[in-house]
Amino acid sequence: MRLFFLYIICMMMFSLPATYNWVYAENTTSYKAYEVKAALLIKFIDFVKWPGESFSHEPDTFVLGILGYDVFEGIFDQFINKKIDHRHFKVQKFYNINEIRQVQILFISESEMECLPEILEKIREKHVLTVADTKGAAKEGVIINFIEKKGRIGFEINVDAKKQTKLHISSHLLRLAEIVSNKGNPR
């Protein structure tokens, strides 16, 4: 129920001007902060369009994959088998890159950042929205990375990484983000 209220707050956040796009969290590594990040992840679904081929394995299921340590610790449980974007929501946990199957969103835990180039190569042609919460992850090729400033949670979007997929990210979401490019490609 608590995540539902955070979801409502995120809905309101996405309807405000870009100057109000940061969500307050007392400690950005706390459980509460991950509730905010989970609500944002769910809300991102409304602002991203995946090509039909992204759903070829399970056409009526939307899969969020978590690679590595699960920092969300069951926060998504209340959404499992609920319909999101007209599809049943499912969470799959992976502990190494060889386990990754078809997912629409892949949250890459900080514990897996040393393998990031291999991870991104493995899913490169699968049109997956990659998300992390590790400093510098967007510049290394993750599409959306949660960031913290002065106790508030926001996110950055790597437009170069997004261009390598067939994903369409709404201009509304882009306006709320800090835009970054791949490392070595100044913006």
Q: Is residue 73 part of a domain?
A: yes
pLDDT confidence of residue 50: 96
Domain span at residue 8 reads 2-180
Total number of domains in the chain: 1
Asked if 141 and 69 count as a contact pair (C-beta separation under 8 A), the reply is no
pLDDT confidence of residue 57: 84
pLDDT confidence of residue 14: 47
The CATH number of whichever domain residue 167 belongs to comes to 3.40.50.2300
Strand, helix or coil for residue 37 = helix
pTM, entire model: 0.83
Q: Is residue 19 part of a domain?
A: yes
Beta bridge partners of residue 129, listed in sequence order: 105
Left, alpha or beta for 141 (phi > 0: left; psi -120 to 50: alpha)?
A: left
Q: Is residue 185 part of a domain?
A: no
Q: Is residue 123 part of a domain?
A: yes
Q: Is residue 186 part of a domain?
A: no
Distance from C-alpha of 32 to C-alpha of 34, rounded to nearest angstrom: 5
Q: Each residue of 84-132: pLDDT tens digit?
A: 888 999 999 999 999 998 899 999 999 999 999 999 999 988 999 999 9
Strands (E), 45-176: 48-49, 61-67, 83-84, 87-94, 105-108, 129-132, 144-149, 152-158, 168-169
Confidence class for position 19, pLDDT limits 50, 70, 90:
very low
Q: Is residue 99 part of a domain?
A: yes
Q: Quote the percentage of the chain above a pLDDT of 70.
A: 82
Asked if 177 and 148 count as a contact pair (C-beta separation under 8 A), the reply is no
Left, alpha or beta for 126 (phi > 0: left; psi -120 to 50: alpha)?
A: alpha
Q: Each residue of 31-55: pLDDT tens digit?
A: 788 999 999 999 999 999 999 899 9
